[in-house]
């Protein structure tokens, strides 16, 4: 399709922008632009068509099945947006007096309370903008905790080899060095391997539970206690919280700090810029290090307390992505405690249903026929026998009008496809997806050669990712 700069014509415009109603002043000559700005010159019709066409090229959960493992692409209820649109939330300024935004402070306090209840934490901070930002913030809390106790030699973070790639990356960003430990043949944390690497230099251990192959870590209490006994802290990556809401709590498993992804588990928009929200929750021992000022109540008025001298300081401007918190609270209050538990149980049921209906054809290396909210397929056999890779398989699914699963993750499974159907898909949708997965597999066995050209029906087929990564073009090249 044409870019907006390639539409329209010189001196065309539209009256979407109101006429200036304040006196014009000129910029000092020294700062004046020598060349015209390259702004699109298009009519309102052209703008409208441009964005409609652009929207037609995207695919979201409103278009179809989107089982992107580890991303929890559940449906985002429209009532969340209706509430976030209220002018009392959307038309306020972060520097407005506390007296005038009592409702917004109440929203943050309620959301904190509910999320603490769900996770078993004592405090929750909404500043981090998304998951990895939450990880970084949580790790900074761990760092501050050890430094505060003059325990300065704790500079290592332990992560399992099945971890989300952001875990070691965040640890490294936060100034730690990373120790990788292998998984057991069953896909779980190797407890003995963990025991052998913890010590006086252990700052903490990062884990997502259920883990990235979709299994609940059965030895979780032993795992967290090994880390605690060595003097380290336990970090819970909340990416997979959708499997356990209302059933199990990271706080009860021995975790000291968590991040959540409101845009995954709590149904707020996700992908394409979100924006996300990655609140950090922690036990009391870490509360004083949190970035934000706490909300306190005095004589019925909510206020921000003074900045704690031990705080690690801001990680984002003001209160994080506040309107995302409004949406997440709307979701929690719409479902209620029982509804959230139902959501998790149905997420697990849907994943097990799909896996069970695929396991006679597809290799599912872990779990012995059971999983939590997601499962991992290995296409290693069909790659070896027919040269059809996980990438080819995923691309073929696009022609069926559905989003493929996550590919090539976790790294411990070769030719991995990671499927997370979520609780918001009906049985009919799952049955249709199962039928298509089986059909594509069958095609891959019979006509493997065609697979390197799929998809055939999407606006873009196979983008040249290698050239894009090696020689990126980062701006439009204007001809003049």
Cα 140 from Cα 175, distance rounded (Å): 9
Q: Smallest distance, Å, CB 469 to other proteins?
A: 4
- CB nearer to other proteins: pick between 183 and 268: 183
Bridge partners (DSSP) of residue 363 are: 378
We find the least distance from the C-beta atom of residue 411 to other proteins, in angstroms, to be 6
The angle subtended at Cα 189 by Cα 342 and Cα 71, nearest 5°, is 45
Token pair of 59 as six digits: 């695919």
* Minimum distance of other proteins from residue 9's CB (angstroms): 39
User: Which of residues 352 and 406 has its CB atom nearest to other proteins in the complex?
Assistant: 406
Q: Which of residues 196-225 bind other proteins (CB under 8 A)?
A: none
Q: Considering the complex, state which of residue 361 and residue 411 has its C-beta at the smaller distance from other proteins.
A: 411
Nearest distance in Å: CB 413, other proteins: 12
* Cα–Cα dist 282/131, whole Å: 15
**182 interacts with other proteins by CB under 8 A:** no
From the CB of 180, what's the least distance to other proteins, in Å? 8
Using the contact rule CB under 8 A, the part of the chain among 252-260, 291-299, 362-370, 461-469 near other proteins is 461-469
By CB under 8 A, is residue 460 in contact with other proteins? no
Q: Which of residues 128-167 bind other proteins (CB under 8 A)?
A: 165
Q: Does 361 bind other proteins (CB under 8 A)?
A: no
Residue 414 Cβ vs other proteins, minimum distance, rounded to whole Å: 8
β pairing state of 295-298 and 301-304: antiparallel
Give me the least distance between CB of 470 and other proteins, in Å please. 5
Minimal distance in Å, beta carbon 406 to other proteins? Answer: 12
Cα distances (Å, whole numbers) of residue 430 to 65, 139, 362, 422, 435: 9, 38, 16, 10, 9
Measured N-to-C along each axis, helices 322-358 and 78-85 cross at an angle, to the nearest 10 degrees, of: 170
User: Least distance from C-beta 161 to other proteins, angstroms?
Assistant: 10
Minimum distance from residue 194 beta carbon to other proteins (Å): 18
If the CB atoms of residues 103 and 175 are measured against other proteins, the closer one turns out to be: 175
Binding residue count for other proteins, defined by CB under 8 A: 9
Give CA–CA dist 170/133, Å, rounded: 8
Which stretch, 138-146, 322-330, 440-448, 465-473, contacts other proteins (CB under 8 A)?
Answer: 465-473
**Binding of other proteins at residue 103 (CB under 8 A)?**
no
Q: 456: burial class by Cβ within 10 Å (0-12, 13-18, 19+)?
A: exposed
Question: Considering only residues 449, 470, 473, 474, which one is a binding residue for other proteins as defined by CB under 8 A?
Answer: 470
Asked if 451 touches other proteins (CB under 8 A), the answer is: no
In whole angstroms, the minimum distance from the beta carbon of 465 to other proteins comes to: 4
Residue 344 DSSP class = H
At residue 384, the 3 state secondary structure works out as: helix
* Residue with Cβ nearer other proteins (328 or 407): 407
For 406, phi then psi, to 5°, come to -65, 140
Q: Does 411 bind other proteins (CB under 8 A)?
A: yes
- Interface segment toward other proteins; rule CB under 8 A; list 92-100, 320-328, 396-404, 462-470: 462-470
- Which of 239, 211, 234, 238 has the alpha carbon at shortest distance from 223? 234
Under 8 Å CB-to-CB from 211, ≥6 apart: which residues?
160, 162, 187, 188, 189, 217, 240
Q: Is 465 in the site for other proteins (CB under 8 A)?
A: yes
Q: Ramachandran region of residue 336, left (φ > 0), alpha (ψ -120 to 50) or beta?
A: left
Is residue 466 near other proteins by the rule CB under 8 A?
A: yes
Q: Which is nearer to other proteins, 66 or 409 (CB)?
A: 409
Nearer to other proteins, 39 or 469 (CB): 469
Least Cα distance to 203 among 171, 173, 167 occurs for 171
- CB nearer to other proteins: give 315 or 388: 388
User: CA-to-CA distance for 249 and 299, rounded, in angstroms?
Assistant: 33
Nearer to other proteins, 88 or 161 (CB): 161
| Angle subtended at Cα 59 by Cα 57 and Cα 65, rounded to the nearest 5 degrees | 150
Give the SS3 label for residue 247: coil
Contact indicator for 382, 445 with CB cutoff of 8 Å: yes
With a CB cutoff of 8 Å and minimum separation 6, the contacts of 110 are: 329
- Report in angstroms how near the CB of residue 477 gets to other proteins at its nearest: 22
Q: Which is nearer to other proteins, 329 or 398 (CB)?
A: 398
CA 237 to chain centre: 10
Pick between residue 176 and residue 409 the one whose CB is nearest to other proteins.
409
By the rule CB under 8 A, 469 interacts with other proteins: yes
Binding track over 390-409 against other proteins, x by CB under 8 A: -----------------xxx
Q: Distance between terminal CA atoms of the chain? A: 22
Nearest to 115 by CA among 220, 250, 313: 250
Round the CA-based radius of gyration of the chain to a whole number and report it. Answer: 25
Q: Are strands 301-304 and 416-419 parallel, antiparallel or unpaired?
A: unpaired
Binding site for other proteins (CB under 8 A): 165, 407-409, 411, 465-466, 469-470
């Amino acid at each position: 399709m044409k870019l907006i700069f390639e539409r329209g014509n010189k001196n065309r415009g539209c009256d979407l922008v109101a006429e200036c109603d304040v006196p014009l002043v000129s910029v000092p000559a020294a700062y004046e632009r020598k060349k015209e700005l390259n702004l699109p010159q298009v009519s309102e019709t052209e703008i409208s068509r441009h964005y409609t066409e652009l929207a037609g090229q995207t695919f979201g959960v409103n278009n179809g099945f989107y089982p992107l493992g580890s991303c929890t692409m559940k449906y985002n209820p429209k009532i969340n947006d209706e509430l976030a649109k209220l002018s009392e939330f959307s038309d306020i300024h972060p520097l407005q007096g506390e007296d005038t935004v009592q409702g917004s402070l109440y929203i943050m306090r309620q959301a904190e309370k509910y999320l603490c209840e769900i996770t078993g934490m004592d405090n929750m901070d909404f500043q981090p903008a998304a998951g990895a930002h939450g990880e970084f913030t949580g790790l900074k809390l761990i760092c501050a905790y050890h430094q505060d106790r003059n325990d300065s030699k704790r500079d290592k973070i332990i992560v399992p080899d099945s971890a989300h790639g952001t875990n070691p990356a965040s640890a490294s960003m936060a100034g730690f060095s990373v120790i990788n430990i292998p998984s057991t043949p069953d896909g779980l944390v190797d407890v003995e391997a963990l025991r052998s690497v913890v010590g006086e230099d252990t700052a903490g251990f990062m884990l997502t539970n259920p883990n990235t192959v979709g299994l609940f870590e059965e030895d979780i209490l032993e795992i967290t206690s090994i880390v605690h006994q060595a003097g380290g802290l336990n970090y819970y990556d909340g990416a997979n919280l959708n499997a356990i809401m209302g059933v199990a709590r990271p706080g009860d498993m021995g975790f000291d700090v968590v991040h959540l992804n409101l845009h995954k588990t709590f149904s707020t928009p996700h992908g394409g810029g979100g924006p996300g929200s990655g609140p950090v929750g922690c036990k009391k021992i870490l509360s004083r290090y949190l970035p934000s000022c706490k909300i306190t109540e005095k004589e019925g008025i909510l206020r921000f307390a003074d900045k704690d001298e031990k705080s690690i300081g801001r990680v984002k401007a003001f209160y994080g992505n506040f309107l995302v918190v409004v949406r997440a609270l709307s979701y929690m209050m719409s479902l209620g405690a029982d509804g959230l538990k139902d959501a998790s149980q149905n997420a697990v049921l849907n994943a097990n249903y799909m896996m069970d209906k695929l396991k006679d054809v597809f290799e599912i290396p872990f779990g012995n026929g059971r999983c939590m909210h997601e499962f991992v397929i290995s296409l290693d056999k069909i790659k070896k026998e027919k040269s059809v890779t996980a990438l080819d398989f995923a691309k073929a699914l696009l022609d069926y009008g559905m989003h493929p699963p996550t590919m090539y993750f976790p790294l411990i499974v070769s030719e991995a496809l990671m499927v997370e159907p979520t609780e918001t898909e009906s049985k009919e949708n799952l049955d249709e997806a199962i039928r298509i997965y089986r059909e594509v597999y069958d095609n891959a066995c019979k006509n493997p050669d065609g697979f390197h050209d799929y998809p055939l029906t999407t606006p873009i087929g196979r983008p040249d990712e290698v050239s894009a990564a090696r020689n990126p073009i980062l701006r439009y090249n204007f001809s003049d």
